[in-house]
Amino acid sequence: MSLKNKKAIIIGCGIAGPVLALALHKAGINSEIFEAQKSLDDDAGLFHYLSPNGMNVYNVLGIYDKIFKLGHICNKTILNDENGNPFASFDEDNSMNEFGANSIMIKRGVLTKALREEIIDKRIDLHFNKKLKDIEDLGNRAIAHFEDDTSAEGDFLIGCDGIHSRTRKILMPDAPKPSYTKLVMAGGYAKIPSKNHKNSMIYANYCKRAYLAYFILPSGEVWWWNAQSYPEEPSKEDLQKITDKQWQKHMVELYNEDSSIIQEIVQSDENDFMKYPISDMPPLDTWHKGNVCLIGDAVHATSPTNGQGAAMASEDGVTLAKCLRDMESSQKAFKKFQELRKKRVDKIVKFGRRNGDGYFLTNPVKKWFRNTMIRIMTSPIIFNRMKKDFFGYDVEWNKKIK
């Protein structure tokens, strides 16, 4: 029995949801998207690093060129120590030849808007202000009930509703909750003198008291983000109550012993500080139950410290669509999807947590050991192997799943 012409109810319209809907459309499976927010702010959020594995998903969907043109190519990362001296680097300038795609930096709102445009173009129904209240699994179909007393019915339901997923809470009330990493991320946009820094490169700085990375655009605009120790978990609301002026004062003090360009970035008058507590998801043994499945951050949220969150969500969407295309039932498709994805995403979540743990070392010996290990990991032999593992992943859309 084929699932072609069946209907998926998709909860969430961030990245995973639209990618899944577009891939299902390509597979001949219908879908309808329900987003909890009243509208989506295209200026909200910071930006994503999209590595070749993520960009290749957009190749499958036929929108690589569109997404590429909306972003900014990234071909190298330089890592600086607490004195501002480079101690390691890795190149990506051969990514197109190696993996068939380049890495880019792209604003989150720009990416999600582009995906929504594709949804509209494919005439996939998208509904806003639909907060999920409950799910009814009737064996041969699933019904989503919303807080506005409306409901939607499909053959199966996919939760793409992020790290604080309502779908997950309903489906698996006893599942582990998101784990706070004791880090807060902030970021923004600045204009500073170039200091002879080349554009299209990420400068990652292990500063004296916190971490800060920045990316310089050809226009001279700087996109920057930092991670700092924050032992007690704040709510997003608590962080937003801190004014830009107050946060800038805090940042200036945090980086007052670091290089001049770091200080110029945090002192820039153009900064509009965005602040978020960083959490990830402990591994879940099961990603699905009956006619309901979780994908993306709803099931395996990773810290942004590894730059793979958007790519993992995109890989999930296309892989699940492929499973639903090739398997005879949604339950078998969900099981196969987890088999194909779990080992990879668990490894990447663990990698992101380990990256974050290395940001705030005060012991000189531990700092030396961290920097030495990074030098080793970014050496050509080892890094090329890592690149193949991370960036070389191929969903193999045209290969049938058995």
Residues 260 and 132 in one domain: no
User: Is 236 a domain residue?
Assistant: yes
Question: Residue ranges of the chain with pLDDT lower than 70?
Answer: 1, 193-197, 356-358
Residues 103 and 171 in one domain: yes
Residues 323 and 341 in one domain: yes
Residues 332 and 273 in one domain: no
Q: Which of 259, 279, 299 is the last residue of a domain?
A: 279
pLDDT of residue 195: 61
Residues 106 and 229 in one domain: no
pLDDT of residue 57: 97
For the domain that residue 192 is a member of, what is the CATH number?
3.30.9.30
pLDDT of residue 307: 82
Query: Which pTM was predicted?
Result: 0.94
pLDDT of residue 40: 87
What is the strand order of the sheet 151-154 is part of?
Answer: 132-137, 142-146, 151-154
pLDDT in tens, 327-364: 999 999 999 999 999 999 998 888 877 776 667 777 88
Residue 346 amino acid letter: D
Q: Could you list the residue range(s) of the whole structural domain that residue 218 is in? A: 179-279
pLDDT of residue 128: 98
